[in-house]
Structure 1
Amino acid sequence: MKKKLLSVILATAMVATMVGCGSATSEPAAAPAAEEAAPAKEAAPAEEVAEEPAAEEASDDLIVVGYAQVGAESDWRTANTESFKTTFTEENGYQLIFDDAQQKQENQIKAIRSFIQQEVDYIVVAPVVETGWETVLEEAKEAGIPVILSDRMMDVSDDSLYECWVGGNFVKEGSDAAAWLKTYLEGQGKGEEEINIVTLQGTIGASAQVGRTDGFASGMQDNWVMLDKQTGEFTQSKGQEVMESFLKKYPDIDVVVCENDNMAFGAIDAIKAAGKTCGPEGDITIISFDAVAAAFDSMIAGDMNADFECNPLHGPRVAEIIQKLQAGESVEKIQYVDEAYFDTSMDVAAIKETRAY
């Protein structure tokens, strides 16, 4: 940890001065690239770390990162978790303490307080919702532990309570989806027709839900009618349940906007069970977000029309930020990850083969 590491550094510097070896100043070591592993070193077995004092001292060389994850509600979230677990390894110079909040804010707050008690070096949070974080962030700030936000944003009165945020531009994703739909409908000769739309929203209050809803709304055309919006909680089962109710209530749905892929999969199942069709050759146009591997399969199968990427591979970017902070450098407050969109006019099968998630 930082405090122990500082003591070791100071002691080493004193010894070096006494024996007259080397220069008192030197260039700091360059941070390793996010995707590259640091030089391998012998790691003590897990049981020795818990029992042997020597192993405990060796762990002081590692940067300790506590990650409070939302949960495992979607394929996107699974890929996001894996990105952190494969980046923050002992081989790369880190110890990761991972906590799955099971989509409950109170669990994340408990996890953050546990990280503070354990005196981690950095706290990373993918917040369940945007509000309700002021108190626990104040506690982290008082403890001198930098907080980095991943994926979802926090709405706080003092943004100095966190170092920076890393994630997708959710508003742009939503507005890009609306722009794509406008072009697509015009290409289908339906640019002037009345278009009935329903939206499967994510967890209400989550940054992805807020941004995608607002972004799509900004691109609504005069001849588009938003029949209904309901939360599917970012899960396949809930997405299917909500879509079933939409189909019973609204007989003429033209477009379904799903604010993540898992809800889209549930919606597709509901549409097929109701005897309707979807996709480029179907009755209903399906637009989704995230672009996980299974969504490419859905486009290949002709069930989904378009998917707007939300890149889940945040681990390397967060590691890059931590290395800059370790070197005393400043970092940008808002850091968007690179994203694209995909539709069935593309060779989605070939594109899928090039992707990591």
Structure 2
Amino acid sequence: MKRTIHRPQLLTRPVVVALAAAVVLTAGACTKSEDEASAAPSGSSAADAGQQVVTPEPGGKNCTADAYGAKKIDLKSATVGFSQSEKEANPFRIAETKSIKDEAGKRGVKLLTANAQSQFSKQISDVQDLLAKGADLLVVAPLNSDGWEPVLRAAAAKHVPIVTIDRKINATACKDYVSFIASDFVEQGKRAADQMIEATGGKGEIAILLGAAGNNVTTERTKGFKDRIAEKAPGLKVVFQQTGDFTREKGQQVTEQLIQSKPGIKGIYAENDEMGLGAEAALKGAGKKPGAVKIVTVDGTRNAVQAIADGWISGVIESNPRFGPLAFQTLEAFTQGKPVPQDIVIQDGAYDAKNARQDLGKAY
């Protein structure tokens, strides 16, 4: 039976994903208690706070073990390898890894982990090492979208299925990997644009702090933002864009350059919270007052939500890092021979001045 969850101003896009029927999964990864995790946030809706709400995707493409050429195995007796891409200084990565570890522990599944420390060559060797150590299944959070051919060949040779999370690899679903689980990054960009339009009144010069080059997250968050601005607020002009590499330090450096070259800038769209917090630091250093330049970011970390409460950030679109339940449910269904979607979209919430203080505990 399909469940309907009513949340004001939250579902601005269809929430897609299917593992046969509509399901509500409680991740519980980054919340203080079971009760807090299950409480629906108020206002313009902060995240699902540990809940992942999934519904069937009409006409979506599926993958099965037979089509993939994988063996049907018992997940409980399997070894799962997890490759994390970035240093766990970023709260998103901390929450993501915790969610995977928590779900493996909950299910009693043996988990091998590796962290590439933001080095792509290390991530390739990490995954090859996980295969050598006997991983039967892989969950990979890719650093880059390209360059995965050595891993794909090695996994195919051992008939090891791969589920990718958070960033997409440029390969063929149900051939090179089973499923891709992530947010709708284009929609995140559109929702960030809506927040920027509201914060600025839809007029003025704005800047974009781009994420790292070479992955679909940056491309899609940029596309969604620009498309929505062009559609709804032609009075907003993007006059500056430069990569901040998803880091706070680079975000601060780029913003320092920005306010020197464009002193009249009215808004900054940072494609993750860390760059947005770097922008905040640069504005403070330049003697700007809170809210003088409107900042909108994507992620949903506690530091960014606190910055909304403090008046420095106008809005944050959540990028939900709690992939554990969806990843393991996908692996379980797949290893049992059931069809699983090739593309799975996790639900994201949002924070603004209306709900930041009351929902701070639900941020990660």
TM class by shorter chain equals 0.7 to 0.9
Residue 327 of structure 1 corresponds to: 336
Secondary structure at the aligned position of 1:148 is classed as strand
Number of corresponding residues: 290
5 Å-filtered alignment, 1:30-49, equals: none
Contact residue 305 and residue 360 of structure 2 kept, 8 A:
yes
1:17-67 CA-to-partner distances (Å, cap 9, x unmatched) read xxxxxxxxxxxxxxxx7759xxxxxxxxxxxxxxxxxxxxxxx96321111
Secondary structure at the aligned position of 2:357 is classed as helix
CA distance in 2, matches of 1:301, 1:259: 20
1:217-253 CA-to-partner distances (Å, cap 9, x unmatched) read 1122332221221111111111111111111111111
5 Å-filtered alignment, 1:1-357, equals: 62-71=77-86, 72-89=88-105, 92-156=107-171, 160-186=175-201, 191=202, 193=203, 195-221=204-230, 222-278=234-290, 282-344=291-353, 346-353=354-361, 355=362, 357=364
Specify the code of the residue in structure 2 equivalent to 1:249. S
Q: Tell me how far 1:73 sits from its aligned partner.
A: 4.6
CA distance in 2, matches of 1:330, 1:321: 9
Cα RMSD for the two superposed structures: 1.9
CA distance in 2, matches of 1:184, 1:111: 43
Q: Tell me how far 1:159 sits from its aligned partner.
A: 5.3
1:55-88 CA-to-partner distances (Å, cap 9, x unmatched) read xxxxx96321111111225111111111112111
Q: Tell me how far 1:133 sits from its aligned partner.
A: 1.1
Specify the code of the residue in structure 2 equivalent to 1:308. I
Q: Tell me how far 1:184 sits from its aligned partner.
A: 3.9
The verdict on how the C-alpha distance between 1:323 and 1:356 changes in structure 2, with shifts beyond 3 A counting, is: farther
Which segment is superposed worse, 118-127 or 310-319?
118-127
Q: Tell me how far 1:313 sits from its aligned partner.
A: 0.4
Secondary structure at the aligned position of 1:160 is classed as coil
The verdict on how the C-alpha distance between 1:120 and 1:157 changes in structure 2, with shifts beyond 3 A counting, is: closer
1:3-28 CA-to-partner distances (Å, cap 9, x unmatched) read xxxxxxxxxxxxxxxxxxxxxxxxxx
Residue 50 of structure 1 corresponds to: none
Residue 18 of structure 1 corresponds to: none
Contact residue 206 and residue 269 of structure 2 kept, 8 A:
yes
Secondary structure at the aligned position of 2:327 is classed as helix
Relative to the length of structure 1, the TM-score reads: 0.77
Q: Judging by fraction of residues, say which structure has more helix.
A: 1
Secondary structure at the aligned position of 1:96 is classed as strand
Q: Tell me how far 1:185 sits from its aligned partner.
A: 3.5
Residue 55 of structure 1 corresponds to: none
The verdict on how the C-alpha distance between 1:63 and 1:310 changes in structure 2, with shifts beyond 3 A counting, is: same
CA distance in 2, matches of 1:70, 1:84: 14
The verdict on how the C-alpha distance between 1:253 and 1:61 changes in structure 2, with shifts beyond 3 A counting, is: closer
Specify the code of the residue in structure 2 equivalent to 1:225. K
Secondary structure at the aligned position of 1:335 is classed as strand
Q: Tell me how far 1:157 sits from its aligned partner.
A: 5.1
CA distance in 2, matches of 1:159, 1:255: 42
Structure 2 regions of 5+ residues with no counterpart? 1-24, 29-74
The verdict on how the C-alpha distance between 1:61 and 1:158 changes in structure 2, with shifts beyond 3 A counting, is: closer
Secondary structure at the aligned position of 1:270 is classed as helix
The verdict on how the C-alpha distance between 1:184 and 1:304 changes in structure 2, with shifts beyond 3 A counting, is: closer
CA distance in 1, matches of 2:271, 2:227: 15
Secondary structure at the aligned position of 2:112 is classed as strand
CA distance in 2, matches of 1:173, 1:236: 20
Q: Tell me how far 1:101 sits from its aligned partner.
A: 0.4
Specify the code of the residue in structure 1 equivalent to 2:357. A
Secondary structure at the aligned position of 2:311 is classed as coil
CA distance in 2, matches of 1:147, 1:158: 10
Specify the code of the residue in structure 2 equivalent to 1:262. E
Contact residue 200 and residue 266 of structure 2 kept, 8 A:
no
Structure 1 regions of 5+ residues with no counterpart? 1-32, 37-59
CA distance in 1, matches of 2:199, 2:102: 39
The verdict on how the C-alpha distance between 1:115 and 1:168 changes in structure 2, with shifts beyond 3 A counting, is: same
